[in-house]
Structure 1
Amino acid sequence: MKVRSATSPRPRPKRPLGRALAVAGAAVLTGLLAAAGLSGTPRTGETPAKAVEAAVAPVAAEAPGYAVEDFDYPGADKILEEQGITLKRGDGHIVLATCDSETGLLEVWARSRSNERICFRVTGNSGYLSLEIPSVYGVQGNAYATTVDMTVEDEEKSFDITKNTWTPVGESVDDEAREHMLVEITTTK
């Protein structure tokens, strides 16, 4: 049997931190509800269930919705209307750019654009862009390893673009010179 002296303090039982936090949280919640007049206690002529409903309903009804990224290309409708380029979805690392605005742009050449270049700025370690550009016949690569996916009739074809040089794609390398639609660009550093 262990004997304790009158001068030694009695050891306190240890309480888990979670219990202490739960008690403190409940006290704070009760104080907030009381300050807002939503204590959960029935008012005159009100049932306890209605008191709880009144305390909970306004908060749920006013809560903001969640922000969900859909990866749709921003301003795609305006770009289609003004430039005739259909940009669908991407990760933000391949974006439409003004040709000759800077060096190192990825350039797409298409007959459907009267042989005008369509340029893209590539950033980050990797990039993805889903789009539609008809009659593409060549791509000028940049410092990224780039792959373009195209469709022709019911077929899907992929072309690896040589870094920093011109690469013929689509109808330029097709035995039948069929029109190819550029549908996807992927890049990696």
Structure 2
Amino acid sequence: MKIIDKLSYAFSKSMCYQLRKENDIEIIKYGIEILIRSSIKVFSLLIIGILLNNLSLLIITTVSFILLRLSSGGFHFNSYKYCYFVSLGLLTVLSLIANEITQVSLNWNLILVGINFITIIILVIFKPLINPNRPYVGQKHIYLKISIIISIVSLLISLSIKENFLSYSIAIQLAMLFQSLTLIRIEWSKI
């Protein structure tokens, strides 16, 4: 996305010259790139949710995924293009599955608890993947504890809203599970 690079550079250069912080151009440029790319993803998700008449469920799925991702980290694609399409696809599919699967009569309490249990097991086994530039990077156990707490709170919310909003409960737990799966390290060169 060379347009984003050029736009970010021009904006950061202008901003840094105005603030007399010329040495910070690359840092500001990176932040602006993240802001633009995140905005594109959010806008795309909103459009997809509206087109599929699935907006609220897609928002719930996305927020749940992001909340756990903030504390647990996870796999990152080398290309924004791959990240963009896989993220949109995954979040959309999870929200659609959550919507459709509610038609099946199952013991949802047991299933929601089971999904959450698997999520926590994955978190404990594979541990959060934290960027070395984040605070407390030397204390990864803090991120693990926060991730487990987020997972447990998500289960409590899912169970408490299940009677009236089953699809939301399922979406929350599926998002947590799939985010935890991004912690599993695969050596792609051996596959």
Range into which the TM-score falls when normalised by the shorter chain: under 0.3
| Structure of greater relative contact order (alpha carbons < 8 Å, 6+ residues apart) | 2
- The structure in which a higher percent of residues are strand is 1
User: Normalized against structure 1, the TM-score is what?
Assistant: 0.25
User: Normalized against structure 2, the TM-score is what?
Assistant: 0.25
User: Rg bigger for which structure?
Assistant: 1
- The structure in which a higher percent of residues are helix is 2
